[in-house]
Amino acid sequence: MENFDKYAECTKAQDWEGICELNEVNLDSFGTKKELKALPDYLEPDETVFALTSGFMTQTKTSDWSDFGTNTWLVVLTSDRFLFLDSAMLSSSVDTQSVRHERVQAVSASQGWLLGKIMVDLGSRVLTIDNCEKTSVKVIADLANKWLKELSDKKNTIPPHVQPSPEVSPLDTLEKLAKLHSMGTLSDEEFSTAKETVLSSL
């Protein structure tokens, strides 16, 4: 991933605006200021944020009982997953959804006059995040698909050929034969025959 180290630095510094600047988009914090503040608590160690935006998703099984219908979620693309955060309106609890990259088949974006949407294809269903900032949806889709391809390429890369261990040298073989002969394991005749075989292979 291009600029991976810069994304990692910004993530460590919790500089979400810096990440958006790397992506040449504005920080879209509409309705997600609480979620942005809570984001560091939900990131795993060494997880790097590539992009983020806000958008509408319908209520889910994890939603707080006081939430109704469609909520504004913080959408975060990281090195490990898609992470979605939604702070409850009447409490300090945060609803989360997490989709690991290995479950994602493709990510697409649709841009309207003012807003856009992101579609995350999970094979069995498509997760749709609507009413996102227009320019951010293309950035997230492009970065996600690029990263998914990198992960797939790494997984399918054939490991470098392992060098075979060097064969036992004739000298080592002769030493072993001499030891076996001195121990009485090999007779004079067997030792002589084996020694001639080794010497003839030189």
Domain with residue 47: its CATH number is 2.30.29.30
Secondary structure of residue 2 in the 3-state scheme: coil
Residues 105 and 50 in one domain: yes
Query: What does the pLDDT read at residue 65?
Result: 40
* Cβ contacts of 29-33, under 8 Å, gap ≥ 24: 29/54, 30/54, 30/72, 30/133, 31/72, 32/72, 32/73, 32/74, 32/85, 32/87
Residues 43 and 69 in one domain: yes
Residues 33 and 78 in one domain: yes
The answer to whether residue 106 scores a pLDDT higher than 90 is yes
Least confident of 58-62, 135-139, 144-148: 58-62
8 A C-beta contact, residue 110 and residue 119: yes
What is the percent of the chain with per-residue pLDDT over 70, rounded to a whole number?
Answer: 87
Say if 165 falls within a structural domain.
no
Going by C-beta distance under 8 Å and a sequence separation of 6 or more, which residues neighbour residue 32?
54, 72, 73, 74, 85, 87
Mean pLDDT of 131-150: 93
Query: What does the pLDDT read at residue 88?
Result: 74
Residues 104 and 196 in one domain: no
- Which residue is it, tokens 């470098």? 160
Residues 149 and 179 in one domain: no
The answer to whether residue 42 scores a pLDDT higher than 90 is yes
CB neighbours (10 Å) of residue 14? Answer: 15
Say if 118 falls within a structural domain.
yes
Summary mean pLDDT of the chain: 84
Residues 149 and 62 in one domain: yes
Residues 73 and 20 in one domain: yes
Q: E strands, the chain, where?
A: 49-58, 70-78, 81-87, 94-100, 106-111, 115-121, 126-133
Say if 58 falls within a structural domain.
yes
Query: What does the pLDDT read at residue 160?
Result: 58
Take residue 185 and report the two structure tokens written for it. 């394991």
Query: What does the pLDDT read at residue 49?
Result: 96
Say if 63 falls within a structural domain.
yes
Say if 29 falls within a structural domain.
yes
Q: Residue 119 belongs to what domain range?
A: 4-156
Residues 119 and 26 in one domain: yes
pLDDT band with cut points at 50, 70 and 90 for residue 116: very high
Query: What does the pLDDT read at residue 155?
Result: 80
The answer to whether residue 47 scores a pLDDT higher than 90 is yes
Say if 164 falls within a structural domain.
no
CB neighbours (10 Å) of residue 5? Answer: 10
Give the containing element (helix H, strand E) for 193.
helix 188-200
Residues 134 and 195 in one domain: no
What is the percent of the chain with per-residue pLDDT over 90, rounded to a whole number?
Answer: 50
Residues 179 and 151 in one domain: no
Take residue 142 and report the two structure tokens written for it. 């492009």
Span 169-195, pLDDT tens digits: 778 888 888 888 787 777 888 888 888
Domain count, the chain: 2
pLDDT band with cut points at 50, 70 and 90 for residue 146: very high
